[in-house]
């Protein structure tokens, strides 16, 4: 019986290892000026396989299937094949989290979804007479959420 459990554990371990081979590529650079991506696993000769050639000014880890990259001073997002999903037009960008990423374009700071569509801040209405609360660009400062209060007459 013990041998069956050991064999079962071994087979499950192999299955988990084979699933880890599908991990996202890892950013790398050779000269600190051009960044690309290599495969998650080493080759048999202990080298990395280049999966996206080093052509970016900066490259960041994949989050939710997209990686933030910088090209010509602007930020955009690529998929695991190295294809742009969102063209580099933003002055600053953050990684995706829960389907959204915070970006800056000019003086505007806002959230986008995985297709680049701009998400508008949500309006939260309370059932108080003549008062509505608007999140201030859904941003927080010092851990506190900032609200704009607008009174209706």
pLDDT for the residue numbered 100 = 93
Predicted pLDDT at 32: 85
Q: Give per-residue pLDDT as tens, 57-83.
A: 999 999 999 999 999 999 999 999 999
Stretches where the chain sits below pLDDT 70 are 1-22, 42-46, 121-153
| Alpha-carbon 145 to chain mean position | 23
Show the domains of the chain with their CATH numbers.
23-119 (2.40.128.630), 121-153 (no CATH)
Strand locations in 43-143, DSSP E? 48-56, 58-63, 66-71, 74-78, 84-90, 92-93, 101-105, 108-112, 118-119, 131-141
Q: What is the pTM of this model?
A: 0.64
Taking the alpha carbons at both ends of the chain, their separation in whole angstroms is 78
């Amino acid at each position: 019986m013990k041998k069956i459990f050991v064999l079962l554990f071994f087979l499950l371990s192999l299955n988990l290892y084979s699933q880890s081979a599908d991990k996202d590529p890892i950013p790398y650079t050779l000269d600190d000026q051009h960044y690309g991506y290599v495969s998650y696993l080493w080759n048999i000769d202990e080298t990395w396989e280049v999966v996206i050639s080093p052509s970016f000014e900066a490259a960041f880890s994949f989050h939710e299937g997209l990686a933030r990259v910088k090209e010509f001073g602007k930020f955009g997002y690529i998929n695991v094949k190295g294809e742009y999903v969102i063209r580099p037009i933003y002055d600053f960008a953050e990684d995706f989290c829960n389907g959204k990423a915070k970006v800056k374009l000019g003086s505007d700071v806002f959230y986008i979804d995985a297709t680049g569509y701009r998400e508008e801040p949500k309006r939260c209405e309370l059932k108080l007479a003549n008062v509505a609360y608007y999140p201030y660009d859904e941003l927080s400062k010092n851990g506190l959420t900032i609200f704009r209060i607008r009174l209706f007459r």
